[in-house]
Chain A
Amino acid sequence: MTNLSGVGDDIVWQHSSPRLQTLRQCQVALLGLGALVVAVGVPVVLGQVPLGVALGAGVVVCSFVASQLMSRRVRAWGFAERDEDLLVRRGVMFKRLAVIPYGRMQYLEVTAGPFERTVGLSTVQMHTAAAASDARIPGLPTAEANRLRDQLTQLGEHQATGL
């Protein structure tokens, strides 16, 4: 993976749970399957079998590509807790690295969408006073997410400074 350091090579990056990867691949597969059914079914019903086969092949190829991209994307999420701030990195094409001081975190949210909940994962979202700070850590086991939230909240309170 491309070296994103510059904040120090001794960063220990933590990643999302492997269950997130499985979940995302399942989502891509489901979407692909649905698209396949439509792409093949509609032309066949209308009597255009070759078109249906061609579209179906196209959908399969696209799904494969999407699955590869999704896999790289999930692997690119990472976060690291340092002494005074939190680092979050994400993105494959547009690599982003955010540094958020604990003292600037206004509040933290732990949310879980319906799919995440089925595999017992949650997302931690950090908010500062700036609307553009958009640090999210998806796919953490729920207990870990809660621990992280409580720990960051406590650190934030200790180091909070005013606007």
Chain B
Amino acid sequence: MLAIALVLVVTSVSGGHDSGDQYRLAAVVLALVIGAISWFFTRWRVEDGVLRIDRGLFRKSSERFPLHQIQAIDTVRPGLARLLGLAELRIRMAGASGSSGRLAYLKAPHADVLRARLLALAHGVDEAAPAPPEHQLLQVPPARLVVSMLISGPGLLVELLIAAVVGVALLYPSAVGPVVGGGAASILGAVGALWQRLNGEYRMTLAEAPDGLRLRAGLVETSAETIPHGRVQALRMIEPLTWRPFGWVRVEVDVAGKGLKGHQNSPQRRAGRALLPVGNRKQASWLIERVLPGVPVLRTPAPARARWKSPLRYRHLSWASNGGYAITTGGRLRRVTDWVPLAKVQSIRRVEGPLQRRLGLASIHLDTAGRHIYAVARDRDRDEVAHLMASLPRDCRAARRSAG
């Protein structure tokens, strides 16, 4: 709400049409008033093991969250709220849909205390007991994040665009107007996406908490999110081409439930939640071993015939599975490695295209409940696939039984 109001103010200031100004001002004031009313009329209470949140003046809503189903509580502090010393609590529930409740804008220390109390109640521990301490695992230095973004694919693209616009401006000063106008829009869009990513991953700190992994990050908007144990649907490690000289990799995670941040268009929804925005291989493998203990190490590459079908990525294709996990690798310019716990597999699909049929190959897709990460064992030998289609359902079933 406040963000919308700010955007309106900024655009009205830069617009420059006099007659529209008072309408824009009225819209800003209206947005602020609506936001204030919504905040003022939000009430919450804990009764009978249920957290109840009532909100709204004209359109009332009353939500109930059973305490024992609370799985994690995230703390989010948007930029403006930070200035005012406020914080927002997002409550994430167990269950297939993973619905979430929001308690917007409490005073920051009060929010921490409330979070500790709610979690204590959820776990059936005495409210007054102090929260168990977190154990910090690793931290991503901001300099490394900035450098990695500058040399990443989207970063290089933005730099190229800016260089092109500047070059045109210098060489053909008369053509500056339309070129800058056209280029500026796309540059602003790309820069905005990069900024969102920077903001979401700045100074990320990973800590081990009793209820899961705790991720703290943020530049303007800070957030502290919890990834509960056992909700990880899939893990992905990405090695972009431009990062390989530095030996940097990126680790993303898919967690069951609604989007963690609630941004609709942010690149994070497209790219997946970053567990390790940038780090070296040692950190990544240590982290993966921590989140998914017992992953297989040896991998079998694709048969040589696959070169005819996927010449560019043939070298990077491989697959492995033991009783608990499956690993697939692939990717052309950016090597991608996916880990899927077999207990989380939703369905298994075998796909065989005409070229694959001629070469005696097939691919296996392992579908998970996550939004971004999908594991594909590409271009495996047909007999191997036949064997896997018989054994994988059994293994997944066994993994489900032993996990749940």
A residues near B (Cβ < 8 Å) are 2, 5-8, 84-85, 93-101, 103-104, 106, 128-133, 135, 161-163
Contact = CB atoms under 8 A, between A and B. Distances in A.
A93 B374 contact: no
Nearest to A5: B386
Given A84-B397, A93-B354, 19 more contacts: A6-B389, A6-B390, A97-B389, A99-B389, A99-B392, A100-B346, A101-B396, A101-B397, A101-B400, A104-B346, A104-B347, A129-B346, A132-B349, A132-B365, A133-B347, A161-B403, A161-B404, A162-B96, A163-B96
A64 to B, nearest CB: 21
Contacts of B347: 98-101, 104, 128, 130, 132-133, 135
Contact of A130 (B257, B354, B367, B386): B367
Contacts of A129: 96, 256, 346, 369
B393 interface: yes
B233 A96 contact: no
B334 interface: no
B390 A133 contact: no
B400 A8 contact: no
A6 B367 contact: no
A97 B393 contact: no
A120 to B, nearest CB: 29
B229 interface: no
B96 A6 contact: no
B349 A96 contact: yes
B120 interface: no
12 contacts: A6-B386, A95-B357, A98-B348, A99-B349, A99-B392, A99-B393, A128-B369, A129-B256, A130-B346, A161-B400, A162-B404, A163-B256
B352 interface: yes
B352 A95 contact: yes
Given A84-B397, A101-B393, A130-B346, A6 B385 contact: yes
Contacts of B365: 132
A163 B389 contact: no
B236 interface: no
Contacts of B94: 162
B372 to A, nearest CB: 11
Across the A-B interface, the 7 shortest Cβ-Cβ residue pairs: A6-B386, A129-B369, A130-B367, A130-B346, A163-B256, A133-B347, A128-B346
B369 A130 contact: yes
B188 to A, nearest CB: 31
Interface in B82-110: 94-96, 98
A78 B390 CA distance: 18
Nearest to A3: B386
Contacts of A5: 386
Contact of B96 (A8, A96, A101, A106): A106
B36 to A, nearest CB: 38
Nearest to A92: B354
B137 to A, nearest CB: 25
Interface in B349-373: 349-354, 357, 365, 367-369, 371
Contact of A132 (B96, B374, B393): B374
A161 B96 CA distance: 10
Contacts of A7: 386, 389-390, 393
A162 B404 CA distance: 7
A163 B344 contact: yes
Nearest to A97: B350
